[in-house]
Structure 1
Amino acid sequence: MNKKQVIFSIIILVLIIDQALKIYVKTHIPYGDGFNILGLNWARIHFIENEGMAFGLSYGGVAGKYLLSIFRIFMVSGLLYVLYKLYKADESLGFIASFSLIIAGAIGNIIDSAFYGLIFSESKFHGDIATMFPPEGGYAPFLQGKVVDMFYFPMVQSTWPDWMPVVGGEDFLFFRPVFNVADSAITVGVVLILIFYRRFFKSPSKKTDPTMTTETAEN
């Protein structure tokens, strides 16, 4: 595949997987419920929603939600422009692929914020399962939808030692955040860029000019 095909393939594949899983969770699992993945206690599908930031973080209020959604739309527009410039500059395939993952993840969560409030009924804690295109309409206006999260990996559960300041005696849980495919795509893209930064931006080795070699030999 050429670079253009890689860009479109990554973005489309991430969006399909992300949205398919979110729609399934939203319409099949009560809010706050879930199940273990492959019977593992430390790997769960656990349905929650957040106001639009990664890993369950939120930015308060209706106005804050609008600001966050608008900011993310502008941010993705800027990232798409940068990706176009990277493609035209013939940057390395690895860097372009990593950048495409970040953009795909950002778009995935924007879709939730923009449209989920319009097309789904509200998910209530341990209540009725949400329906798609309810007769009474959705639970929120445009750009006020909540992002669906479902991956939860409480791998280490313990208690902080009493002698530790501030957190001593309190419960310790790793990994606490609940996230989705879009969050994962953003994280993987950023990590790949950080790990392989030198390789992605490695300057091409200078090729020896045969003419200059001949002239040097003659001198």
Structure 2
Amino acid sequence: MSKKNIAILTIIIALILDQVIKIYVKTHFVLGEEVVVFDWFRIHFTENNGMAMGIEFGGNAGKLFLTLFRIVAVIAIVYWLAGTIKRKVHNAVIIAISLIFSGAVGNIIDSVFYGVIFNHPAHSVATIFPETTTGKLFFGKVVDMFYFPIWSGNLPNWIPFVGGDPFTFFQYIFNPADSFISIGVVLLFFFSNQAFPKEEKKKEQETAISEEV
């Protein structure tokens, strides 16, 4: 399989998986509802207006800026991916960048479209493609559901400032798109020599490609 097809297949699978899970949770769970799969793994439906891990970012104006910034970043990632494919690097690098792209696009879809393709009931499940909605384009909320409270307890008293305070690891709730971005970053770390070749290696690769042409 060509590197281009690997990238396309990775993106298609990741985006479908991301959106299927988000749409299922949004149309089957009440906001705040939680299903305990294991003590350390739960499906907890929540939404956020801001960045990853539920961080807020300056209200509606900040949210719009963040969405537009993500779109610009995605365009940059497309160029990065295209250039990487031409350099014929390791497939893991192609998959890594494709996953990062998919994760960014997945959350953009939520932010841009979810406000208008879902209704927003306060204490019941959402309906997709309702006749009317109070939401606005570019002001949808990102759907999160994966929660891994692996350990909960009080921090040791000897830790400065926070000693004795309650703490949960891992306390953040995230979605498939966030996972794809994280996996992509980890892959790039392990294959950093391939992803970010030194100048000499880069010139050698460019020379080899030109000779093949």
TM-score by length of 2: 0.88
Query: Which residue does 1:9 correspond to in 2?
Result: 9
Distance 1:188 1:22 in 2: 19
Look up the SS of the partner of 2:41 in the other structure: strand
Distance 1:90 1:123 in 2: 49
Look up the SS of the partner of 2:127 in the other structure: coil
Greater shift, 56-65 or 26-35, is seen at 56-65
Query: Which residue does 1:18 correspond to in 2?
Result: 18
Query: Which residue does 1:48 correspond to in 2?
Result: 46
Instruction: Summarize the alignment of residues 116-155 of structure 1 with structure 2, pairs less than 5 Å apart.
Output: 116-124=114-122, 127-137=123-133, 139-155=134-150
Look up the SS of the partner of 1:45 in the other structure: strand
Asked if the contact 1:52–1:69 (Cα under 8 Å) also holds between the matched residues in 2, the reply is: no
> How many residue pairs end up in the alignment?
200
Asked if the contact 1:119–1:132 (Cα under 8 Å) also holds between the matched residues in 2, the reply is: yes
Instruction: Summarize the alignment of residues 70-89 of structure 1 with structure 2, pairs less than 5 Å apart.
Output: 70-89=68-87
Instruction: Summarize the alignment of residues 108-123 of structure 1 with structure 2, pairs less than 5 Å apart.
Output: 108-123=106-121
TM-score by length of 1: 0.86
Counterpart residue type for residue 44 of structure 1: R
Query: Which residue does 2:64 correspond to in 1?
Result: 66
Distance 1:136 1:92 in 2: 48
Look up the SS of the partner of 1:151 in the other structure: strand
Distance 1:164 1:107 in 2: 40
Deviation at 1:161, TM superposition (A): 2.5
Instruction: Summarize the alignment of residues 88-107 of structure 1 with structure 2, pairs less than 5 Å apart.
Output: 88-107=86-105
Look up the SS of the partner of 1:187 in the other structure: helix
RMSD, aligned α-carbons: 1.8
Look up the SS of the partner of 1:49 in the other structure: strand
Counterpart residue type for residue 25 of structure 1: V
Query: Which residue does 1:184 correspond to in 2?
Result: 179
* Cα offsets for 1:32-78 (capped at 9, x unmatched): 112122xx111011000011421222212111011000000000001
Query: Which residue does 1:34 correspond to in 2?
Result: 34
Distance 1:63 1:144 in 2: 10
Counterpart residue type for residue 133 of structure 1: F
* Cα offsets for 1:116-137 (capped at 9, x unmatched): 000111153xx11111122222
Distance 1:41 1:48 in 2: 19
Deviation at 1:170, TM superposition (A): 1.3
5+ residue gaps in structure 1? 207-219
Greater shift, 189-198 or 14-23, is seen at 189-198
Distance 1:98 1:52 in 2: 24
The structure in which a higher percent of residues are helix is 2
| Alpha carbons of structure 1 residues 153 and 77: separation in structure 2 relative to 1, 3 Å | same
Look up the SS of the partner of 1:22 in the other structure: helix
* Cα offsets for 1:79-98 (capped at 9, x unmatched): 10111111122222221111
**Structure 1 stretches of at least 4 aligned residues deviating more than 4 Å after TM superposition:** 199-204
Looking at CA atoms only, which structure, 1 or 2, has the larger radius of gyration?
1
Query: Which residue does 1:215 correspond to in 2?
Result: none
Distance 2:51 2:127 in 1: 24
Asked if the contact 1:49–1:147 (Cα under 8 Å) also holds between the matched residues in 2, the reply is: yes
Look up the SS of the partner of 1:198 in the other structure: helix
Look up the SS of the partner of 1:73 in the other structure: helix
